[in-house]
Amino acid sequence: MNIILLGPPGAGKGTQARHLVETRNMVQLSTGDMLREAKDSGTEMGKMVADVMARGDLVTDEIVIGLIREKLEGDNKGGFIFDGFPRTLEQADALSRLMADEGQTLDAVIEMRVDDEALVARITARSTCASCGEVYNDNTKPIPADGKCSNCGGTEFTRRADDNEESLKTRLMAYYKQTSPLIGYYYAKDMLSVVNGLGAIEDVQRGISEALGS
């Protein structure tokens, strides 16, 4: 099963993607991770990515599609999770063509819908384990009293520099301008399911599982 996770920054897409990887043996395709991996790979595509990033230019849709193509041609295990792509209608069309070329289908699109004010309040309280990426929140899931990550035992925690109210509002504006049209796009294709992204992690997991038909 191949799916897209849609939602603004901080909606919890990464957390839910990790759960799907663990429970369904899916492969998470995060644009940022793919670019970093390609840059260090030494392949022709990797050299192209490294050159673009070294110049400070934006990576083109063609490059991202090329990276996704390479992944699709590998072992898909339990299917792919597209996280961070597509972001625009043009990218959605390009992904649709790519899937058809590779003889694969896009089976579901999950929108993790949030309330903006609640999201800002949640993200400005967020910390991340520097070792494993486990996410904590000052209000709803504080760092354990012993100062150790409950997942890996790490003791170093970080806050993203842009996890502040002003930066978040800028990122939300970019999301709504660029990516929110995809909601109507996939709704028209009868592929969209909506899950409350601000629910408890287990409730979100349950909502996604129901949307995927199990």
**Active-site residue list:** 13, 87, 126, 160, 171
Distance between start and end Cα atoms, the chain: 12
Cis upstream peptide for 142 (omega within 30°): no
Q: Which residues have a Cβ under 8 Å from the Cβ of 115 and sit 6 or more positions away?
A: 198
Would you call 64 exposed, middle or buried from its count of C-beta atoms within 10 A (0-12, 13-18, 19+)?
buried
Other C-beta atoms closer than 10 Å to the C-beta of 195 total 24
Q: Which residues of 108-128 are buried (b: 16+ CB within 10 A; e: fewer)?
A: bbbbbebeeeebbebbbbbbb
Look up residue 185 and give its amino acid.
Y
State the helix-helix crossing angle for 201-211 and 13-24, rounded to 10 degrees. Answer: 60
> Are 53 and 41 within 8 A, CB to CB?
no
Tokens representing 119?
């999201």
Three-state DSSP at 141 gives: strand
